[in-house]
Every structure is written in C-alpha cells, then in structure tokens.
Amino acid sequence: MKNKLIILSFFITLRTFSQGDEDKEMFNRGRQRDQQAIDEAVSSWWTASMKNHDERITWWQQARFGMFIHWGIYSLPGGEWKGKRVDGYAEHLMRKEKITRADYLTLAHQFNPVLFDADAWARHAKEAGMKYMIITSKHHDGFAMFDTKVSDFNIVQQTPFRRDPMAELSAACHKYGIKFGFYYSHAFDWEHPDAPGNDWEYNNPGGDKGLYGGANWFNVHPELLPKAQKYVNEKAIPQIKELLAKYHPDILWFDTPSKLPLSENIRMLKAIREADTHVVVNGRLARSAEVSFGDYKNTADRPLEFFPVTGDWEAIPTTNESYGYHKFDNSHKPVGAFVQLLAKSASRGGNLLMNIGPKGDGAFDTKDLTILQGIGAWMEKNGESIYGTVASSLPLQSWGVSTMKGNTLYLHVFNWPADNKLYVGGLQSEWAKVYLLANKKALTATRVNANDVVISLPAKMPDTLNTVIALELKATIKADSIRVFSANIPEQRLLAFDAQLHGEKFSYGDGKTGRYYVQNWKSASQWLSWTFRTTKPATFTINMKYLAGEGNGGTFVLQTGNHSKEIKITGSGSDTKVLTLDNMDTIELPAGTHELIIKPVSIDKGELMKLLELPLIAK
C-alpha cells in the first residue's frame, strides 16, 4: 500500500509539473504571437502610417472639447428591466440582466426614437462650445445604430424607426463645422455567438464568469482564439470598414481591448490604416507596455483629477455616473465642475470628451441640456483660453490652473483671494497687457520680485465658475518651476498625483472620485515629496486623505526641514472608503523653499496606504 501511495504521489507530482510547464508554454506562445504582430507593425505599415500623424491629429489637438454620446437600445429602458431598477452603467443592461439575443430583439422592436433630431443634437454640441462629436455606432450589446449590411442586428432592420441616425448626424455635424466620428465596440459583442463577452447564453470567454482562464483566456485556451477571430473577420472588421467607407469619419474610438489578444487589436488597426490613413484612432484599440499604436492616449473614465500624462491625451467624464441614459441616476454634476475640469485638462495638455446619454425617445435629458447651456455660456466668453492652448510652464498655483496660446497666458481662477490680490508665483516674464478675458477690462499687475507677480482683482469674482485673466506677454514665457503657496488662499492641496515619486513600482489610481491616489506603496525605499515656496512665514495644519483596507497600514515619517513626526495608521474596513486624518501635524515655515516628505518606517502587510492628498490649512 505504501509503495502504491508513493507511485500515485509521483504521478500526481509529475502531472502537476507537466501542467505548469504546459501553462507556461501557452503563455510564451501568446507572447510570441503578440510580439510577432508588434514587430510586423513597427517594421512596416504602422511606422509608415505615422508619417502623417501630425497632420491628421492637428484638428483634434486644437479642439480640446468634444461631445461623447452613448445611445442605443438600452436607452429605452433607461436602467430598468422587468420593473426593477438596475444600477450602474445603463448601457450594460444586457450583461447585467443576462438578456438573451432574442429578448433584446424584442426590446429593439419597441425602439422608436421619434424625437430624434440630428440637427438639434449637433446644435447643442455647437452651442456648448464642443468641436467634435463621437457616438456609439455599436456598443457592447452588438446592436448597430447604423445601416449595416454585415448583420441584421441593426436599427434599420430591427426597429420601427427604420432610419440611419448616424448618416443624419454626420450631415448635421458637417453643417455646423463639428468633426464627427464613431465609438465602435470591437472586442466585446454580446449578441454574436463567437465574440468575447456573452457567457450567459453562449458560454464565451471574456465575461463576468471568468471562463477559460478569465482575462487571459486566449493564452490559457488558444484553441478558442479561432472562434473569436471568426467574429473579427465576419463582423468587426467588415463593420469598421463600412463606417469608414459610408460616413468618412474624422475619428474612430475603441474600448475594452483586453478582451482580445493584442495581435487581434493590431490586426484591426492595420485594416483601418489600409482603408483610411487620415482618420484619427484613439489609444484604446491597440497598446502594449512599450508601444501605444493609437494617435493619442486615453486616461480613465469619469475623472475628478488627472494623473501625470505626457503627449496627447483625452479624458471622458459623463454628466452623472452612467454613460447611457439612466432615469434613476440623478447624480448630475454642477456646471462649474465641468468648466473647471475642462480648464484642468487643457492646463495639462489634454482634451475633455464629455458624455451625454440621450433618452430612448431621441431627446436629451433636460438636466443634460442645462449643463450644456451653462458650459456654452462660459465658453462663449472664455473659449479662447481653451481652444488651441497648451500647458503653460507656470508651476501649480493655489488659486487654479493656467493655459497658454502663443505669448498669451490664461489664468483660470477657481479660488478668489479674499483680499482681491492674485499672487502669480513663478512668472518671470514681463507683460504688455493684463485683463479679464470675458469683458476685456484692464487690470493692474505689479512685480513683487524676480519670480512673482501680483494682479489687483475686482472686489467681486466676475464668474464664480472660473474667472479667466489674460496676460499678453512681451516674449516667450519664462517661469520658475517651484510651486508657490499664495498666502491669501487658506487651503493648499498637495495631491498625490502632483508628488515627486521616489523609488520603483508606484502606480496611479484612475482619477475618479476617491481614486486619485498613488498606490502599490509596499517598500520603505518608496517615498513621496512635494517642493513648494512660501512668500512669508506661515503655519499650516496638515490633514490627510487616504485609503487603507484591512491588512494595510504602517508607520511613516512626515518631514519638513528639521521638523519630523512619526505617524501610525492602521488599515481597516473597505479598501475603497476614503479615510481622513485631521490635524495630523502642524508645521511652522519661514519664507523660502521647502520640501515636504512622507517616508515609510515600517509597513504592516500589504501596502502602507493609497494616498489621495494632503490638505494644508493655514492657521
């Protein structure tokens, strides 16, 4: 019996070892497959396609502000199914409720958006100051909102509406001088029996059940890849080519590339470039750790703050928390939130593609119209400070952000100084004119020292959303890089996104509410610092916002100059709940340049914390 157990144990061990080798070999083959696609692209067609990159991206760089539209069959129920409220993204209704293709077609047969008016939609975008529009031609549900000949799962053949709204929108946007393009879900398709995503009706990979190895299904089960390639060959690529040939879009926007292997995503981009060398393609179609094959980068959805990004990038906020129309979601942000987010993105060299979810009858929600009208009113007076601008070399400011166009510097003031004196830190250049952009009213500016300027402001903030001050400089801007704490602004926010990261393996959160953090803080060799300047002696109370779930926490030192304090935090509860540590320390600073440091002493188990920000309150 003992010998039999030994033999059985040997074969179990051998099988486990062999299975491990087999898994490793499959992953290696997957890497080789993707690398072959990368090498082919870089050595030939993709590199050739980048020769006119600057030409095709110019309009997009100048635009800075666009309208994103999520509209489809899901817009009719608007977050409700069989009398039940369905929370989350309304456009994910089919997946959330595990709706079959047949039942979804029944819903499509009721879709008749009689209030759809392409001219009105384009006009709303125009009046809001938007320069481009991107609409869902096919979302993850696989239902085409255009007259496709590739599949009968489309708005013309399956709805009583029987019109092609994409053709009408394309014409309307052309009329109003708005660039036009499509969102196309290339990797997710819940109606197609061969595509990733639908695991409730077809048991396909890429869905919530995590079948066949989950996210890496195409490496764990490469025998399933030909099935997905069949979908790509028979539906995705043909429909993308249809969109290019029929509507000649200015831009194509893709999403969820991880549902397919990189090699397939690259293959689709190759098909696009063979058909059209001028269409702009976003960054979510094909990208690796080394190469982003798109024309620009994307940051996360629904951002509150922006992590550092170099090059061309775009953010996609939405008016509430859903992209498709959700009749139960009334969490619409105020106009000022979007005006300031727009200024923040432009100040960092990015675009804002703001999402609207029209209703199933084709009309815009009145709450969305109110937001659009408010932004439009601000843009009518201040759009010059957004369109065609770049990030200025001025350091971060206590009162807001800055943008630049030519030799004109635009100061976007969010926080009005109580004494009506705007301290512009780091501006070394001389100016010819200073004025309120909205009404061209002249202002007086005085140089305080070689690095700083003070502008005398009106007693009342002219625009409480964002007052813009223009400085026409006499020459190319010169600026000091060190951030200045304005003494007349009571709170200074040191965001983790703006910290200098020391050590390796840090990463950023996506910038959503409660997620604008630095994470993966697992070593005492990792630390953060902020450098800033005070213009006079100041005392600050330091608070902290962070996340630390169960098993995280530890001890760290908070240090400025010769002052230091050791602080202990303990992880508890949810790792998504924002925690606040008030009155963490009080520091007294003389006038001059300072460095504030957070450095771990010990880390309990997982990571020290996910740090959001340090609000410094003047005493």
Note the helical H segments in 207-320: 217-220, 225-231, 237-247, 262-275
Instruction: Tell me: do 455 and 553 sit in the same domain.
Output: no
Instruction: Tell me: do 369 and 433 sit in the same domain.
Output: no
Give the phi and the psi of residue 123 in degrees, each rounded to 5: -65, -40
Instruction: Tell me: do 562 and 470 sit in the same domain.
Output: no
- The enclosing domain of 456 has a CATH number of 2.60.40.1180
Does 4 have pLDDT greater than 80? no
Query: Residue type at 231?
Result: Y
Answer with the one of 367, 385, 403 that is the final residue of a domain.
385
Label residue 300 by pLDDT band (50, 70, 90). Answer: confident
Q: Bridge partners of 581?
A: 544
Does 42 have pLDDT greater than 60? yes
Label residue 16 by pLDDT band (50, 70, 90). Answer: very low
Q: What pLDDT shows up at residue 605? A: 86
**Kind of pairing between the strands at 132-138 and 65-69:** parallel
Q: What pLDDT shows up at residue 25? A: 78
Does 109 have pLDDT greater than 70? yes
- Asked if 136 and 70 count as a contact pair (C-beta separation under 8 A), the reply is yes
Instruction: Tell me: do 198 and 94 sit in the same domain.
Output: yes
Instruction: Tell me: do 604 and 586 sit in the same domain.
Output: yes
Q: What pLDDT shows up at residue 22? A: 61
Answer with the one of 354, 385, 416 that is the final residue of a domain.
385
Q: What pLDDT shows up at residue 572? A: 83
In a domain, 2, yes or no: no
Q: Bridge partners of 451?
A: none
pLDDT (average), residues 445-473: 97
Least confident of 17-21, 122-126, 278-282, 531-535: 17-21
- What average pLDDT is seen over the chain? 95
Write out pLDDT tens, residues 67-90.
999 999 999 999 999 999 999 999
Instruction: Tell me: do 236 and 277 sit in the same domain.
Output: yes
pLDDT (average), residues 189-201: 98
Q: What pLDDT shows up at residue 59? A: 98
Instruction: Tell me: do 481 and 505 sit in the same domain.
Output: no
Label residue 575 by pLDDT band (50, 70, 90). Answer: confident
pLDDT (average), residues 440-453: 98
Q: What pLDDT shows up at residue 288? A: 87
**Counted domains in the chain:** 3
In a domain, 84, yes or no: yes
Instruction: Tell me: do 227 and 141 sit in the same domain.
Output: yes
- The enclosing domain of 541 has a CATH number of 2.60.120.260
Does 20 have pLDDT greater than 70? no
Domain that holds residue 65: 59-385
Write out pLDDT tens, residues 243-288.
999 999 999 999 999 999 999 999 999 999 999 999 999 999 999 8
Q: What pLDDT shows up at residue 224? A: 97
Tell whether pTM > 0.85.
Answer: yes
Q: What pLDDT shows up at residue 493? A: 98
pLDDT (average), residues 59-64: 98
Instruction: Tell me: do 147 and 97 sit in the same domain.
Output: yes
List the one residue out of 256, 262, 109, 113 whose CA is nearest residue 190. Answer: 256
Does 93 have pLDDT greater than 60? yes
Instruction: Tell me: do 454 and 498 sit in the same domain.
Output: no
Does 387 have pLDDT greater than 50? yes
Label residue 21 by pLDDT band (50, 70, 90). Answer: low
Query: Residue type at 219?
Result: N
**Kind of pairing between the strands at 553-560 and 500-502:** unpaired
- The enclosing domain of 247 has a CATH number of 3.20.20.80
In a domain, 35, yes or no: no
In a domain, 13, yes or no: no
Instruction: Please report, for residues 215, 229, 485, the alpha-carbon distance to residue 212 in angstroms, rounded to integers and kept in the order given.
Output: 9, 16, 54
Q: What pLDDT shows up at residue 290? A: 84
Answer with the one of 358, 385, 412 that is the final residue of a domain.
385
Instruction: Tell me: do 453 and 592 sit in the same domain.
Output: no
Give the phi and the psi of residue 570 in degrees, each rounded to 5: -125, 130
Q: What pLDDT shows up at residue 26? A: 76
Of 17-21, 34-38, 568-572, which one has max mean pLDDT? 34-38
Instruction: Tell me: do 214 and 115 sit in the same domain.
Output: yes
Could you tell me what percent of the chain has a pLDDT over 70?
Answer: 96
Does 539 have pLDDT greater than 50? yes
Does 7 have pLDDT greater than 70? no
List the one residue out of 540, 550, 556 whose CA is nearest residue 598. Answer: 556
In a domain, 561, yes or no: yes
pLDDT (average), residues 447-469: 97
- Asked if 496 and 611 count as a contact pair (C-beta separation under 8 A), the reply is yes
List the one residue out of 297, 264, 301, 257 whose CA is nearest residue 281. Answer: 297
In a domain, 12, yes or no: no
Write out pLDDT tens, residues 415-442.
999 999 999 999 999 999 999 999 999 9
**Kind of pairing between the strands at 80-81 and 390-391:** unpaired
